[in-house]
Structure formats: structure tokens, C-alpha cells
Structure 1
Amino acid sequence: MPQVLEFKLPDLGEGLTEAEIVRWLVEVGDVVAIDQPVVEVETAKAMVEVPCPYGGVVTARFGEEGKELPVGAPLLTVAVGSVEPEPSGSTGAAEAEPSGSGNVLVGYGTGAPPVRRRRVRPEGLSAPVVAPVAPAVAVAVVPTVPVVPAASDGVRGPVAVVSPLVRKLARQHDLDLRQLAGSGPDGLILRTDVESAIRSGAETPQEAAATDQASAHPVGERVPLRGVRGAVADKLARSRREIPDATCWVDADATELMAARAAMNGAGGPGAGPKVSVLALLARICTAALARYPELNSTVDQEAREIVRLPGVHLGFAAQTERGLVVPVVRDAHARSTESIGAEITRLTEAARAGTLKPAELTGGTFTLNNYGVFGVDGSTPIINHPEAAMLGVGRIVPKPWVHEGELAVRRVVQLSLTFDHRVCDGGTAGGFLRYVADCVEQPAVLLRTL
């Protein structure tokens, strides 16, 4: 007899606790193979296709597109067992696997070949029940909405509650969900229903009056801090809370750097490879500077009260996308050439804009480069990307009056700013790092001499 197994939203790693359903890839009644992607979700870091560890027939889906689910919440149920092909349009029987792979992340499946998407007709069953596995086999009905069993005292019948967070919130406040009338579709109890009940039971008359008075005034638009925006907010707040940061800055004449870049891109003629970007040059300068000042390529273990100097440079760079600010990481940047760094920056930037970055490509950075000059601004005081120890900010490169070789001239000038964790070094080290970067910008030969 088929067994109905529940597949829950897996832990997607890197401390992620929730994900938003972007697009379902299967329907109720579809036959799925082990490790076949069944839903596309958006986490605080990336878009992820989640594969199902079971093979069989999809009997129920939990959550509509656009709904946010916590890790561990039910995603779908699968009837595992032998299924018969559809009477028409099928070429052969499909055998559903009796057990799952245990893998739930894209790229870590068993490699079972995908099967043609096929649906088992849910004839003879009433909504919203699941599709039968075979015409002659009875399958346990799994409702699409989890319910709280009815009490024996006859107070009320089953209560529709989708979100585990709603049930948890009710338990924390000793609230009986059977006493609530849900405001959602078909009486579904929403979080706002629970919060309203909590307020009505806990507020004093004075608090209730204040609430009524506040509600009489117009309120501004509320934008949820979730997804990428929520993750960025949490990280920036933690950085400000935990890291005693300081910032130093310097103006540098970037005329020679821009001339060197033009010469690089002009050498070899057509077909000589991709152009070298300013960001790639600055990234290579940073890796050289970090080799001279390794204190800034570190992190702080506050519990052990130790500074941990890291052996390699994993260089993060800030990238603005439609989903918000993300920081992809160029792995082992210290071992790459300028061309290699530039190619990886291009690849990661394209993936960031497409929303296809993997969590591993957004974590593990040891130092961050932030080119905010692309927004047309000269300077800023960067906030350190916790738990790193420093961030270099780069403003726009613009023509300005500048004293060059004792004469006033129009030169291409850029402002560089370094925010650093004052626990890992003093101002002398930070100033030395920034001065070296500025010297390489002003005289690229300095970088060649130290390579």
C-alpha cells in the first residue's frame, strides 16, 4: 500500500530560517522523481530550486506563491509506491522510488534521471483532497491546510491554521485557537487574528484607549524587512552593535591608473579577451595591500578574545540588484591575476542580477570592496560587512583641479575610504594600508614593483 510522506522546507544553510515561495514547479497529481526540483524559493541570499528527496505522486502542496515559510514547515506530501500510467498519452509505467535520497539542496542529489512530468487524474475524490496513486488503491487523504483537532467539549470544530508561526504565537500566549474566527479565506486563522486576540486580552483600558487613539491617525506605508533587505538590515545592525569601527580616507590622483587600464585594454587588438575593469584593478591592488597588512584580513573571536588572521583573501564586492544589495565573494582572490579576478566579478555580478547566486557564493568573505562611485557620489563611510575587519570604499573618478609636479592641472581624482575594526589594528596600520592603495592608484608601477 502506498505511503504518504511529508517533505518539509529544508535548512538551506548559512543560518537561513525562512524562504518565500516564488514558483511551484509541480502540481498536485504530478509524478516526481527523487531529487527532482519541485519548488523555487527565495531566501535572504539567493533564489534556490528545492529538490524533493522522495519519488512518487504529489498529493498536496502547502503554501501559495508569494507566501513565506519557516524552515521545517510542510512543503508538500508525496505518495510513495507503484503508480500506474495514465490511460492515454503515456508510453510506459513509472515506478516511484520507495525511499528518498535524503538530499535537499540543489546539486547534491543522487543523480537519478528525471522523469517526464505526468499527472495522475484525481477522479472520484472531493477537493481539496489528494490525487490517488492508482485506481484500485486507497490513499490516505492529506488536507492542504493543517488543522487543530476538535475538542471533546464541543466548543468548536477543526480550526484551519496554515502557519506554524501562528500556532507557536498562540501557544506562547495561552490562546485557544478554537475560540477565534479566522479572517482569511474559508475561515483561515491569520497572524493578525492571533495578535488582535492577544491585544484585546492583555491591554488595560488605558492601553486600549491609546491604541484606539493611535489607530484614528493615518499611518505610513509599512514595508516588511525580509528577504535580502531583512538580511542586510540584520547584518548592518550587528556590525554597528559589535564592531568598534573607525574610518580614514584620502584623495588620490587616478590619472595614471586610468591610463594604465586604457593601455591594457588597447594591447593585443580585437579578440584579446575581455576588458579590464577599474573594479578588477582595485581588487588586485587590495589583495596586494592585504599581503602587506594581514591584520585587516582577519576576524575577531569575541568569546575567546582572540584575533583570527585568515590565511587567504576571499574578496567580497558590493553589487546592487533589483532584489537589493548583495555581496558576492571572489574566492581565493590572493591567488588570482587581475584578469581572473575581473572574469569572476563579471560572472558573479551577472548571477546576482539574475538572482541565481548560491548561498556559498555570498558567504565566507574576509574583506569587502565597495565601489559606490557608480552611484555618482564622491565619498562615504562604509559599514563593515560583519564579521570581517575592514571595507574599502571607492568614490567616483572625476576631473578635478590638482597640483601635479608643482603645477596646477586637471587630473582624475578619486576618494578612497577605509573603515576598519579598531580591535584588530591601530590607526597606523589602517593608514599604512590606505596609503599603499593610494600609491598604487597614483603610480601603478608601485604595484608592479611589489608583485
Structure 2
Amino acid sequence: MAQVLEFKLPDLGEGLTEAEIVRWLVEVGDVVAIDQPVVEVETAKAMVEVPCPYGGVVTARFGEEGSELPVGAPLLTVAVGATDASSAAPASPADGESSGGSGNVLVGYGTGAPAARRRRIRPERNTASATTAAPAAPAAVSAPSRPAPVAVAVGEVNGRQGPVAVVSPLVRRLARQHEIDLRGLTGSGPDGLILRADVDSAIRQAGQATEAATRTAAEPVVAEASTAVASPAIASPAASATAERIPLRGVRGAVADKLSRSRSEIPDATCWVDADATELMAARAAMNAASGPSGGPKVSVLALLARICTAALARYPELNSTVDTAARDIVRLPGVHLGFAAQTERGLVVPVVRDAHTRNAESIGAEIARLTELARTGKLSPAQLTGGTFTLNNYGVFGVDGSTPIINHPEAAMLGVGRIMPKPWVHHGELAVRQVVQLSLTFDHRVCDGGTAGGFLRYVADCVEQPAVLLRTL
């Protein structure tokens, strides 16, 4: 006898409250194994595949590709114990039931059971649509037929008590900030669940209503002015244009939130210096030449700069720290988890090289290459994008010389590197053409003063100009 269990969008960790459905990996009627990935979602951190903790026949999917679901919203239902489509009737599972599943709903966890080959169960004719539910069950199946209840948050909304069909605390907070009464909204989610898109729409409508009221109040003045002018009005081409609105969500939304928080919480300052990178480039060429044609991956400039950063942080540990604002403490961190900025089609991401202080330039370079490839394909996990203690930002790849980086909150500093290019430079008392780079350090002025920041940046510049300086720390 089949039992239909509901699988809800799990907590994906790192404080994420919602995810966008990118691609369904199963169809209604498919047979799935325990912990088999069923959907690919995009969070504010990364693209992840969500495994289902139940094994059986998929009876319903909730949400189209491109739609956004809050954590805890129904994702799909699975008929556990069904051997064909005729025994997979939709039903509402009781809370806490885990029969036929691993019981694990977090991404990356499972029983380790081998994934069964997915097979398609074709429903009989004259049955319900496959995009919403499986065919009705025969009388022998005793599963209850009531729909799964939508999660309801009961609490104060705009000063009044009452139940609200909304799961995400982010949605409730957004409504409070814009004085939107959630009880007056009709949710577009499953069973009337109110999504963030519903609140955003209400905010836009409220703004348009306010604008219309203001325009109506000003009409008499406009009429008088138009009467006094004899010449006909000429419509401006810009007046008929409609401004494009791009939702700040996903990776772009996460970046916006983090940058805003950084600027609002961290009293940052920036110092910079030009450095002669000719010797660094020569050292890199010598390293790669020594490895030979098939001697392994080449050492990149970014890898050398990363190794220089770890050496500098060993000398100036103040910059490898964070600030506990609640306790008013500076927390110096024991290890260096080095983040590096990477531009992808999904936006700017910062993968993290774990324990960079224990790695040499070759090891750091290999890890940077691996993480960059994952970033390019959108397969970085949330864990690979968090936990950094210091960030290296090579914006020279965009053909620019300098910048004032914004600190990657909650870190205390970021080193920016411009393009390396031939410039006139005084070398050994004579004017020469050298490979010059601009280095900039943005730091949290709470963790150190300018002397420490200047000392760190000067040490980095010395290592760039004279790579042999690093030999003292290797």
C-alpha cells in the first residue's frame, strides 16, 4: 500500500531562506531512489542539487523552473511503496513521518544508498495532468486525500494579530519595512503561500498609487500653466520609455546585501602603492620553465600574490581578523582562509582557499584553478564560498590600474591588484621601462591603524619587487 510523503525545500545552510528552481531533474511519474537529486536550485550562494530523502514514485512537483520558493515550502510529493502509477495517489503526510526515506533533508547528507536508474511511469488515460499530480489511487489505497497544509506563521502583522500564509522570515521582514499588510495579499505559491515576489509586487503597486496621487494633486497647476502657453506641447521621447527593473536576488542580491552591510558597519580606509613587478614576473617565468613542458600546471601570478599575502598576514595578523560588534572584541583568527574574487556569468563570487597559510605557491595555484572552474560552471557549494578571513581581488584582468575595494564582510581587509604593464620607472638611478603594478589595501580601521596597514602593504610590495624576500619565510 502506497504512502504519499511530502518533501519540503530543506534548509540549505548559511542562513539562506529561499532558493530559485533552476531545473527539475525528475518528472511526475518518475521512480526515484533515496537521496537521489531531484531538482537543481540556485541560492544566494551557489547552484546546488537537492536530494530527496524518500524513495518511490513522484506524484507532484511544486514550482516551475525560474520560480522562487522559501525554505520549508512543499517541493514535491513521493508515493513510497508504490510499484506503478495507479498506486501513487496524492496524500498528506503526517508530521515527522520518514518511512521509506533516509530522514536526511540537508544537501550533501544521505544514507549512501546507490541511486537507482530512473524510469518513467506512464499514467493511464483519463487521469490527472502529470504536471500537478499522479493518477488517482484505487480504493485499496487508504492514504488520506486532503491536501498538505500550507505553513502558516501566526504573529503580529503591521500591529494586528492573525494567521498569515507565509514561511520566509525575510518576506515578513520586507513587508514590515514597507508597511504591507500580508493578510491583504493573495499568495502565488502552493496553497496560497505568500512569496517574496508577491510582497515586491505589493510594494510596487503602493509606490505607483502614491505617485498617481501626487500627480493628481498637481494637475490644476499644470492646467493653468498649459493655458498660458499658446504653443502645443511636444512629447519627450523619454516620457514614453519604461524603466527596466531587475530584481536583486540570487547571487546579485547576496552581493548587494554584503556590500551594503560592509559599508554601513565597517569604517574602512584605503592605502595604495606602485610596485615594480619585473622581478616577480621573471621569477614566475623561471619557475614554469624549470617544470618543463610536462612538469605539471604552471604557477600563475595570482598564486604568487596569494602566497605573498599569507606571508604578509603572518607578519601582520591584525589584518587576519574580524570584529565582534556585540561583544566589542577584535577576534584574531588562527588560520588564513584566502578568498579570491572571481567574475562569472552569474555575477561576482569569492571562492575560498582553505588553510592557505599551510600551502606553497603551487598548491595555492592548483586550488585556485579548481575553484575557478567550479565557479565558471556554477557548481560551487555554499561551504566553498564562505568562511574566508582575507580576500585577494585581481581587478587588473579588467584592464584597470587601481581601485578602492570594498571589504568582504565580516573580514578586516582586502588587497586589490591592478594590471601589470610596462611603464617608465627609475631603476638603479636610471630611467627604464619596467613592469609596474598598483597595489591597494582597504582595511577595517577598528582592527589596526595606518602604520600596521602601511607595513603590510609595504611588505607585499617588497616581495613583488624582490621575490627573494619570501625566502626568509619559506
Q: TM-score, normalised by structure 2?
A: 0.80
User: In structure 1, what is the Cα distance between the partners aligned to 2:84 and 2:198?
Assistant: 42
Given residue 387 of structure 2, which amino acid in structure 1 is its aligned partner?
G
**Aligned-partner SS, 2:127:** coil
**Hey, what does 1:173 align to over in structure 2?**
181
Contact 2:58 2:76 in 1 (8 A): yes
Select which of 300, 311, 328 maps to 2:351.
328
**Aligned-partner SS, 1:20:** strand
Q: 1:99 to 1:172 in 2, by over 3 A?
A: farther
Summarize the alignment of residues 340-351 of structure 1 with structure 2, pairs less than 5 Å apart: 340-351=363-374
Q: 1:406 to 1:422 in 2, by over 3 A?
A: same
Asked if 1:25 corresponds to 2:25, the answer is: yes
User: In structure 1, what is the Cα distance between the partners aligned to 2:334 and 2:218?
Assistant: 56
**Hey, what does 2:326 align to over in structure 1?**
303
Given residue 456 of structure 2, which amino acid in structure 1 is its aligned partner?
F
Given residue 52 of structure 1, which amino acid in structure 2 is its aligned partner?
C
Select which of 120, 123, 141 maps to 1:137.
141
**Hey, what does 2:390 align to over in structure 1?**
367
**Hey, what does 1:253 align to over in structure 2?**
276
**Hey, what does 1:83 align to over in structure 2?**
82
**Hey, what does 1:126 align to over in structure 2?**
128
Q: 1:45 to 1:196 in 2, by over 3 A?
A: closer
The root-mean-square deviation of aligned C-alpha atoms, in Å, is: 3.6
User: In structure 1, what is the Cα distance between the partners aligned to 2:200 and 2:458?
Assistant: 59
**Hey, what does 1:102 align to over in structure 2?**
103
Q: 1:424 to 1:411 in 2, by over 3 A?
A: same
Contact 1:183 1:193 in 2 (8 A): no
User: In structure 1, what is the Cα distance between the partners aligned to 2:285 and 2:391?
Assistant: 25
Given residue 263 of structure 1, which amino acid in structure 2 is its aligned partner?
A
User: In structure 2, what is the Cα distance between the partners aligned to 1:142 and 1:365?
Assistant: 47
Contact 2:19 2:43 in 1 (8 A): yes
Summarize the alignment of residues 248-327 of structure 1 with structure 2, pairs less than 5 Å apart: 248-327=271-350
Q: 1:74 to 1:403 in 2, by over 3 A?
A: same
TM superposition shift of 1:106: 3.8
TM superposition shift of 1:103: 1.7
Q: 1:205 to 1:267 in 2, by over 3 A?
A: closer
User: In structure 2, what is the Cα distance between the partners aligned to 1:351 and 1:285?
Assistant: 24
Given residue 221 of structure 1, which amino acid in structure 2 is its aligned partner?
E
TM superposition shift of 1:6: 1.4
Deviations 1:180-207 (A, max 9, x none): 7x999xx999828972898499969945
Given residue 386 of structure 1, which amino acid in structure 2 is its aligned partner?
H
Instruction: Report sequence identity in percent.
Output: 77
Q: 1:382 to 1:176 in 2, by over 3 A?
A: closer
Q: 1:59 to 1:443 in 2, by over 3 A?
A: same
Q: 1:266 to 1:363 in 2, by over 3 A?
A: same
User: In structure 1, what is the Cα distance between the partners aligned to 2:204 and 2:279?
Assistant: 67
Given residue 191 of structure 1, which amino acid in structure 2 is its aligned partner?
D
Q: Which range moves more in the overlay, 296-305 or 68-77? A: 68-77
User: In structure 2, what is the Cα distance between the partners aligned to 1:261 and 1:234?
Assistant: 38
Contact 2:19 2:69 in 1 (8 A): yes
Deviations 1:221-254 (A, max 9, x none): 1111111111000000000000000000000000
**Hey, what does 2:431 align to over in structure 1?**
408
Q: Which range moves more in the overlay, 441-450 or 100-109? A: 100-109
Contact 2:275 2:439 in 1 (8 A): yes
Contact 1:84 1:133 in 2 (8 A): no
Structure 1 segments unaligned to the other structure (5+ residues): 88-96, 149-160
Deviations 1:420-447 (A, max 9, x none): 0000000000000000000000001111
**Hey, what does 1:63 align to over in structure 2?**
63
TM superposition shift of 1:145: 11
**Hey, what does 1:43 align to over in structure 2?**
43
Given residue 128 of structure 2, which amino acid in structure 1 is its aligned partner?
S
**Aligned-partner SS, 1:267:** helix
Contact 2:416 2:440 in 1 (8 A): yes
User: In structure 2, what is the Cα distance between the partners aligned to 1:293 and 1:241?
Assistant: 25
Q: Which range moves more in the overlay, 249-258 or 118-127? A: 118-127
**Hey, what does 2:198 align to over in structure 1?**
191
Q: Which range moves more in the overlay, 328-337 or 116-125? A: 116-125
**Hey, what does 1:421 align to over in structure 2?**
444
TM superposition shift of 1:72: 1.2
Q: 1:200 to 1:378 in 2, by over 3 A?
A: closer
User: In structure 1, what is the Cα distance between the partners aligned to 2:140 and 2:148?
Assistant: 23
User: In structure 2, what is the Cα distance between the partners aligned to 1:256 and 1:274?
Assistant: 21
TM superposition shift of 1:114: 1.4
TM superposition shift of 1:312: 0.2
User: In structure 2, what is the Cα distance between the partners aligned to 1:57 and 1:224?
Assistant: 36
Given residue 459 of structure 2, which amino acid in structure 1 is its aligned partner?
Y
**Aligned-partner SS, 1:34:** coil
**Aligned-partner SS, 2:76:** strand
